[in-house]
Amino acid sequence: MNNVPYKTYLSESELPDAWYNVRADMKKKPAPLLNPATMKPVTASELEHVFCKECVRQELDDNTPYIPIPQKVRDFYKMYRPSPLVRAYFLEKALGTPAKIYYKFEGNNTSGSHKLNSAIAQAYYAKEQGLTDVTTETGAGQWGTALSMGCAFFNLKCHVYMVKCSYEQKPFRREVMRTYGADVTPSPSMTTEIGRKINEEHPNTTGSLGCAISEAVEAASKMPNARYLLGSVLNQVCLHQSVIGLETMAAMKKLGVKPDVIIGCAGGGSNLAGLATPFIGEKLRGENDYRIIAVEPASCPSLTRGRYAYDFCDTGRVCPLQKMYTLGSNFIPSASHAGGLRYHGMSALISELYDQKLIEATSVEQTKVFEAATLFARTEGTLPAPESSHAIRVAIDEALRCKAEGREETIVFGLTGTGYFDMVAYGKFNDGEMDDYIPTDADLAEGFARLPEITC
Amino acid sequence: MNNVPYKTYLSESELPDAWYNVRADMKKKPAPLLNPATMKPVTASELEHVFCKECVRQELDDNTPYIPIPQKVRDFYKMYRPSPLVRAYFLEKALGTPAKIYYKFEGNNTSGSHKLNSAIAQAYYAKEQGLTDVTTETGAGQWGTALSMGCAFFNLKCHVYMVKCSYEQKPFRREVMRTYGADVTPSPSMTTEIGRKINEEHPNTTGSLGCAISEAVEAASKMPNARYLLGSVLNQVCLHQSVIGLETMAAMKKLGVKPDVIIGCAGGGSNLAGLATPFIGEKLRGENDYRIIAVEPASCPSLTRGRYAYDFCDTGRVCPLQKMYTLGSNFIPSASHAGGLRYHGMSALISELYDQKLIEATSVEQTKVFEAATLFARTEGTLPAPESSHAIRVAIDEALRCKAEGREETIVFGLTGTGYFDMVAYGKFNDGEMDDYIPTDADLAEGFARLPEITC
């Protein structure tokens, strides 16, 4: 063992005091959101009907490089941050690689993931604005849990629309949210117009994220003092998640280590943006160079096989459009156990960075992902989330490449969360019953055919 | 906020290099184990048929105050230790108390509890002895998970007998163990003589911890190269858990803080022993004074309402007898959601310390425990295990006493684990369907009537 400890913790005084906004360093910015009614760039006042005022300001701010983290948010962060940067000594040994592998672990909090970084910020801004209620949707349940925790802390009422099949298959996730005081409604529900309409037309539906989003937006609009909060995709969420990358960079500088390869899983893109943008900022400013790899599931390959085009963010087509790598808003990813990565598009920010070739992308099949997850659990102790395990898979592949090439590269990946609520998936893998589904070109053509015709 | 950080982490170089054996500082030692066949003190060679050789040595060593932690165990510890000592600022604020509340958090590892501290040590000694297989039982599943992790790390085959009702009600716990490579058998099973016998006599039984212990012991005895490992009650387990208290003491000394009250939940007693014995050592040596409080469930009150007598450790009456506070080995605790605290007895070590009035004991009802757990989750973020929440309940009660009395006492409690696999219990509480069962004196008399007649 060398002198690098297993876990490097920054002190609480080293917790970043501002988030990093990479858009300020980009010459070509991500394309603006479009209002679906007018197909014109959406204005702040239009967005403020849906989102909190300060979140809208952050959403549209392409120029301020550092945005201060409010003191109350920093105080909350101190309950679980700075998170550890871990040297994966035991995984390295199992692989017999000369590569040095690090991971930034975001799972040491009850939400089980990085989602809390943005949830507490958004809950804070909602409280500061004088709101009493917030609404959101959740699929796999990590975002709903994180927001429930944030709202409990600031004494806001949290209304979660949970995709019906998740509500039924993940009763424990639902119960965690209720323990934090949230009310959780299976979607589609009978509590909203759109929910009633969908239930009428499709009485046996088990719901979808798109439908739950529409219900949450409608519910917020009908309450006197509420807004809708979203846990990924948006610029503001990528901004809040930058605390991950800022801490990673500070810890690595403290250790005197420079990463060669930085790896993150990518669903909506916020965790990858959070981990990578401080490093991408150095690339943009010409200070340093790094390989950055986005990892997506082969079943939902928006970056690696999608189109870069304006598209709807939700299947209901009520939210603003954004320019992104997309499989089409009507693309239904096949069953996958990484619910957090089943999104037809990608954040506008990650999409534009990918288009500018500042990041690479690759896709992996889920059985290979669970093989990597199992090896990681048995060597490094922590049982990883299926989403995070996509990054583990590619970190292992890169470490094996280093072994083959005899290179001592330094790899860092984001371990975004734990898999404690994903044991159904692990069970299928343990029983040899997990399949890999990869969409055919014909499957993808269907999604592309319905892309809106907009040229910006 | 004062200058004490939210979380105090010792550095990895400050991780203790030896466990503390409080028996060495006790003038009157815990009474010896008795062989159930001869009713004479059990010898090392007798115990070595069941347990690993080095574990037996530690079990019987009443004189060595510090026992070195093997380097490979320390390396594993570094994956999740030193664990944080947390200042519960937000809980203090919610209570409006002048008391200062700290907790030592042992839940930041995939086993979800402190059990891993002894599991990895026992797995190490098994491997060093050249064993290929180990067996154990698990009820709630924390010990089985911890031992599966330890065995995966040292490449030992782990055979877990899981109480049948837990096996069926906690499929996710079972799946975590399988992911770490363990085989998990519902008990009573058809794979052992005693299991077949019980299944024949009681075809509808859902199993018990006592039966699972008997099956695991039998299974180990029939394999060529295996031993049985136990996760609580024993002296060796209390010894391994002392890493908790040693770290707590070191962190508090670093902060310049002296605790007035130290609180831990007590089922078998190992976590309380681990947290408290380094402080009790200072009491025994006349260096310092502390109040130490053991908290047990009102449904299973071995210290507060039991007898101090020799009794069987298992319901099957095949294991050695020990002198302990007990409700009788045939006492069946009523349904409780803190499975880890449902044991009819108490470790010999904690029993003797209690008898010498070095620790106090109190019991609490489970609805009050879940009220405390919910307040803790909403203010401090972490969702606590039901077992740990017994300590939270009493820490809150002590802090409210300080408020009433205007005292600025310093309270430290053990947060032994997280409640992520206990959401059925939280659900019952959230739905207002949780009851409190307290045994009557007549219930207890039944257990006492069958205590073996031994005077030592």
Q: Give how far A268 is from chain B: nearest CA, Å.
A: 25
How far is Cα B7 from Cα A82, in angstroms, rounded to an integer? Answer: 10
How far is Cα B443 from Cα B430, in angstroms, rounded to an integer? Answer: 29
Q: Is A428 at the interface with chain B, CB within 8 A?
A: no
How far is Cα A144 from Cα A136, in angstroms, rounded to an integer? Answer: 7
Exposed e or buried b per residue across B218-255, where buried means at least 16 C-beta atoms within 10 angstroms of its C-beta? bbbeeeeebbbbbbbbbbbbbbbbbbbbbbbbbbbeeb
Which 3-state string (H, E, C) describes B157-208?
Answer: EEEEEEEHHHHHHCHHHHHHHHHCCCEEEEECCCCCHHHHHHHHHCCCCCCC
Strand partners, B321: B34, B312
The DSSP call for residue B130 is T
- Closest residue in A to B10 (Cα) is A9
Run of H or E including B220: helix B209-222
- Closest residue in B to A383 (Cα) is B110
Residues of chain A in contact with residue B171, where contact means CB-CB under 8 angstroms, are 423, 427
Residues of chain A in contact with residue B149, where contact means CB-CB under 8 angstroms, are 381
Per-residue confidence in pLDDT tens, chain A, 456 aa: 457 999 999 999 999 999 999 999 999 999 999 999 999 999 999 999 999 999 999 999 999 999 999 999 999 999 999 999 999 999 999 999 999 999 999 999 999 999 999 999 999 999 999 999 999 999 889 999 999 999 999 999 999 999 898 898 888 999 999 999 999 999 999 999 999 998 999 888 888 887 898 899 999 999 999 999 999 999 999 999 999 999 999 999 999 999 999 999 999 999 999 999 999 999 999 999 999 999 999 999 999 999 999 999 877 777 899 999 999 988 877 766 777 788 889 999 999 999 999 999 999 999 999 999 999 999 999 999 999 999 999 999 999 999 999 999 999 999 999 999 999 999 999 999 998 989 999 999 998 998 998 755
The closest CB to that of A6, out of B12, B175, B381, belongs to B12
For B197, the token pair is 């016998």
How far is Cα A451 from Cα B9, in angstroms, rounded to an integer? Answer: 52
The closest CB to that of A6, out of B78, B178, B430, belongs to B78
Contact B352, B26 (CB under 8 A): yes
Burial class (CB in 10 A: 0-12, 13-18, 19+), B430: middle
How far is Cα A194 from Cα A316, in angstroms, rounded to an integer? Answer: 9
Question: Is the alpha carbon torsion for A195, A200, A203, A205 positive or negative?
Answer: negative
Give which of A378, A388, A434 to mutate to test B binding, by max B Cβ within 10 Å: A378
Contact B414, B271 (CB under 8 A): yes
How far is Cα A338 from Cα A389, in angstroms, rounded to an integer? Answer: 9
Report CB contact under 8 Å: B5, A78.
Answer: yes
For A336, the token pair is 């996958």
Nearest to A313 by CA among A327, A303, A301, A333: A327
Kindly report the pTM of this predicted structure: 0.96
Report CB contact under 8 Å: B427, A12.
Answer: no
Q: Give how far B108 is from chain A: nearest CA, Å.
A: 6
The one-letter amino acid code at B344 reads H
Helix then strand count (H, E) for chain A reads 18, 15
Q: Enter the ipTM.
A: 0.95
B375 contacts: CB under 8 Å, gap ≥ 6:
B91, B94, B396
Q: Is A378 at the interface with chain B, CB within 8 A?
A: yes
Strand partners, B157: B133
Residues of chain B in contact with residue A382, where contact means CB-CB under 8 angstroms, are 79, 109-110
Per-residue confidence in pLDDT tens, chain B, 456 aa: 457 999 999 999 999 999 999 999 999 999 999 999 999 999 999 999 999 999 999 999 999 999 999 999 999 999 999 999 999 999 999 999 999 999 999 999 999 999 999 999 999 999 999 999 999 999 889 999 999 999 999 999 999 999 898 898 888 999 999 999 999 999 999 999 999 998 999 888 888 887 898 899 999 999 999 999 999 999 999 999 999 999 999 999 999 999 999 999 999 999 999 999 999 999 999 999 999 999 999 999 999 999 999 998 877 777 889 999 999 988 877 766 777 788 889 999 999 999 999 999 999 999 999 999 999 999 999 999 999 999 999 999 999 999 999 999 999 999 999 999 999 999 999 999 998 989 999 999 998 998 998 755
Contact B200, B226 (CB under 8 A): no
**What pLDDT does residue A1 have?**
46
Report CB contact under 8 Å: B110, A377.
Answer: yes
